[in-house]
Amino acid sequence: MSSVTDVAPVAATRTPEGAPRRPRKPRSGALLGVAAWLIGFLFVVPVLWMVLTSFHSEEAAATNPPSLLAPLTFAGYREFFGVGTGTSPWPSLLNSLTASVVSTVIVLLLAIPAAYALSIKPVRKWTDVMFFFLSTRMLPIVAGLLPIYLFAQWSGLLDNIWLLIVLYTAMNLPIAVWMMRSFLAEVPVEILEAASMDGAGLLLTLRQVVAPIVLPGIAATSLICFIFSWNELLLARTLTGTVAGTAPVYLTGFVTSQGLFLAQVCAASFVVSLPVLVAGFAAQDKLVQGLSLGAVK
């Protein structure tokens, strides 16, 4: 434990001086690295556990204490993909994809102009407008569930994916407007002025000047909207039935009060989280830029 005592004085001497940040000494840097890895590992353990369990048999998954080294099997995945059970996860996965992608695209189409009108060319009382957007999130969704259900029943939209698309759009729009506003606010006014001095029109400015700066922000916003829509359960469970059920609803269907289901649910959870993971990795570099862009403010 000698290493710990080494670190403390280093940290203690640095802070009171308030000196400009210098590169850390390699040793404490390595320690911080180890700590970061440890903490990161702790956060990933449940996910790894889920993945491992998904490759176990139901009996091995249910033992207590857990049997880590149980033989691996694809039974959980076979079950999820409906081999020999007369079910298929594809309709629900496609429903989720439709709902998430379409609602995200609509959200972006609406949120970006709105955010533009709240930051670069702010409308009058734009703070009130911002607050209005936020206020639509103050009512918990569950409080609106019954009216929405009755409306859906009355309008014949129960079990229709377009209803979910509209609701997910409404659900994510305020967040997207808030996020996009903070990204657009990052665009320095001087650049816009310079562009207009050089004779660039609105469209050209948007395309050549604003877009490159806020693209990471758009990536971050769309990923957030995509994740929220993809993972949404409450509305989907209430408003869909046999046709428009989404992946989270299908996922919960593996839970049973009689019999074993852990391995199946883990396999299903892993498959259902894959698209979000893939989207996250694909947008990773943009995302870090985008998220830190907002965080500085």
Partner 1 sequence: MHRHVRPALAAATATALAVGVGGCAGWGGGPSGGGPDTINVLMVNNPQMVDLQQLTAEHFTAETGITVNYTVLPENDVRDKISQEFSSQAGQYDVATLSNFEIPIYARSEWIAPLDEYVAADAEFDQDDVLGPLTASLSGDDGRLYGEPFYGESSFLMYREDVLDAAGVEMPANPTWQEVADIAAEVDGIEPGMAGICLRGQPGWGQVFAPLTTVVNTFGGTWFTEDWEPQVDSEEFRTAVQFYVDLVREHGEVGAPQAGFTECLNNVVQGNAAMWYDATSAAGSLEAADSPVKGKMGYVAAPVVETDSSGWLYAWSWSIQQASAKKDAAWEFISWASSAEYEQLVGEELGWSKVPAGKRASTYDNPDYLAEASAFAEPTLAAIEAADPNDAGVQPRPAPGIQFIGIPEFPDLATQVSQDVSSAIAGRTTVDEALQRGQQLAEDVAERYRERESK
Applying CB under 8 A, the residues found at the interface with partner 1 are 59, 62-64, 84-87, 91, 94-95, 97-98, 101-102, 104-105, 149-150, 153, 156, 158-162, 211-212, 215, 218-219, 222, 237-238, 241-245, 249, 252-260, 282-283, 286
d(CA 172, CA 178): 10
| Least distance CB 297 / partner 1 (angstroms) | 22
Closest CA relative to residue 173, chosen from 98, 106, 125: 106
| Least distance CB 84 / partner 1 (angstroms) | 7
| Least distance CB 66 / partner 1 (angstroms) | 12
| Residue with Cβ nearer partner 1 (91 or 122) | 91
| Residue with Cβ nearer partner 1 (119 or 222) | 222
| Least distance CB 97 / partner 1 (angstroms) | 6
Closest CA relative to residue 267, chosen from 26, 56, 20, 125: 56
| Least distance CB 161 / partner 1 (angstroms) | 3
| Residue with Cβ nearer partner 1 (13 or 88) | 88
| Residue with Cβ nearer partner 1 (130 or 163) | 163
| Least distance CB 102 / partner 1 (angstroms) | 5
CA dist 226 → 51, 81, 110, 275 (Å) = 23, 23, 15, 10
Q: Which residues have CB under 8 Å from 104's CB, separation 6+? A: 172, 222, 225, 226, 229
CA dist 250 → 92, 125, 174, 241, 260 (Å) = 7, 45, 28, 11, 17
| Least distance CB 274 / partner 1 (angstroms) | 15
Q: What is the CA radius of gyration of the chain?
A: 25
CA dist 283 → 11, 165, 286, 290 (Å) = 35, 23, 5, 10
| Residue with Cβ nearer partner 1 (32 or 282) | 282
Give the three-class secondary structure for 288. Answer: helix
Tokens of 148: 């929405």
d(CA 169, CA 135): 16
| Residue with Cβ nearer partner 1 (264 or 273) | 264
> For residues 263 and 61, is the Cβ–Cβ distance under 8 A?
yes
| Residue with Cβ nearer partner 1 (90 or 132) | 90
